[in-house]
Amino acid sequence: MNKKTNNKIIVGISGGVDSSVTAMLLKEQGYEVEALFMKNWNDQSEDGACLWETDVEDAMMVCDKLDIPLNTVDLSADYWEKVFKNFLSEYKNGRTPNPDVLCNQEIKFKAFLEHATNLGAAKIATGHYARIHQQENTFQLLKGLDQNKDQSYFLCRLNQTQLEKSLFPIGELDKAEVRQRAEQAGLITHDKKDSTGICFIGEQPFRQFLSRYIPPDPGKIKTTEGTTIGEHEGVFYYTLGQRQGLGIGGVRGASDAPWYVVQKNIGENELIVAQDHDHPLLHSHGLTASSINWISGEMPDTPYKCQAKNRYRQADQSCTIKKIENDKCSVSFDASQRAITPGQFIVFYKESVCVGGGIIDSVD
């Protein structure tokens, strides 16, 4: 961008090391940098402490150290309406959503971007491990160079306007170098543990958290042969391929091998399990996806050969996309895929370029 015109970048600062180094790098590059802390979830821990207080205190210390202004904005109403309601609805329907993808689409690169623009920012910046490349008049989303931290999967819903207005300064670095730079600069966040859990909600006992919004609905746990061997608390608490937390003890006539969720019978409120990690019900060569976002703004001609991930951290899988409608397609994989889960996102790649993604509707 032309720094002689509008030089102002607003960094979405979270109180973590990645956003801290993002702000530091931009200031080193000569930009006018401000930070904006987003409060997106109103909740308290069991001891009554606000879950975001430590993060905002760390963000304040980082901004003091870097000598940059810190703004705050409460986007909790947007998060509830545009992300969390969808999250609950999907779980109630027996699907397994990924709120982090929707959070990026609706909050970080929409509500936050709009607020930052109103504050006079030319662009926003975040601590995502991804890269943006401009090819003529098109902005491409590329994987982060650190393959272990690449977060392009979570950014698959971004469009051309959002990419044009965004910067990912640490996308060219690996995590170890980010921490090293933070330590050398004396930033308090240099050794802070990475956040995990639901976007902005953080680490909480998941079933206990979900039960506050979706009451338990007990039902039978059955084998693939139809034998009842236990009781579940609600099919929405479980996901395909899950092994832990089933509460199945010794079963007469069965081995001591672990049990896995292989199917959810929503209509009958039944959880179907098997002792085979690679049970046929867990494997498929294809799926149907909808609500697809093509980052370029145009769907490629199909059949379209590319790679895809049907969950984060999965290795790229070779596949072929066929158009059903503009925002709906079928995907056929070259190799069998385990535990493809409706509600999750499938994200498409052409080598290092993320070309788009959509929501998995059904499994073939």
Q: Provide the domain limits for residue 271.
A: 216-277
163 domain-assigned? yes
201 and 224 in a single domain? The answer is no
Which of the 8 DSSP states describes residue 107?
Answer: I
Q: Determine the pLDDT at residue 43.
A: 59
Tokens (6 digits) for 353: 């370029």
My answer on whether 295 and 160 are in the same domain is: no
**pLDDT band for position 1 (50/70/90)?**
very low
Q: Among 19-28, 65-74, 129-138, 239-248, which is the least confidently predicted range? A: 239-248
| Mean pLDDT (the chain, rounded) | 92
Say yes or no: 297 and 263 in one domain: no
Residue 33, in any domain of the structure = yes
Q: Are 79 and 201 in contact (CB under 8 A)?
A: no
Q: Is residue 3 part of a domain?
A: no
The answer on pLDDT for 312 being more than 90 is yes
Please give the span between the terminal C-alpha atoms of the chain, in angstroms, as a whole number: 46
CATH of the domain at 21: 3.40.50.620
Percent of the chain at pLDDT exceeding 90:
82
> Given 63, 156, 199, 329, which residue is catalytic?
199
Q: Are 234 and 216 in contact (CB under 8 A)?
A: yes
Read off the pLDDT band of 200 (50, 70, 90).
low
Whether 334 has a pLDDT exceeding 80, the answer reads yes
d(CA 199, CA 84): 10
- Give catalytic status of residue 199 as yes or no: yes
CA distances from 293 to 46, 155, 316, 324 (A): 39, 10, 19, 14
Pick from 174, 206, 238: which residue ends a domain? 206
Q: Are both 258 and 289 inside the same structural domain?
A: no
Answer yes or no: do 49 and 168 share one domain: yes
- Compute the chain's Rg from CA coordinates: 22
Q: Is 50 a catalytic residue?
A: no
Confidence of residue 256 (pLDDT cuts 50, 70, 90): confident
Can you list the alpha helix ranges (DSSP code H) found in 38-125?
53-66, 76-79, 85-92, 99-103, 112-118
* Angstrom distance (rounded) from CA 11 to CA 30: 14
H/E stretch holding 19 reads helix 17-28
Spot the catalytic one: 103, 306, 329, 354.
103
- Do 13 and 113 reside in the same domain of the chain? yes
Same domain assignment for residues 290 and 269: no
- pLDDT tens for each residue of 40-86: 887 554 444 455 688 899 999 999 999 999 999 999 999 999 999 99
Q: What's the domain count of the chain? A: 3
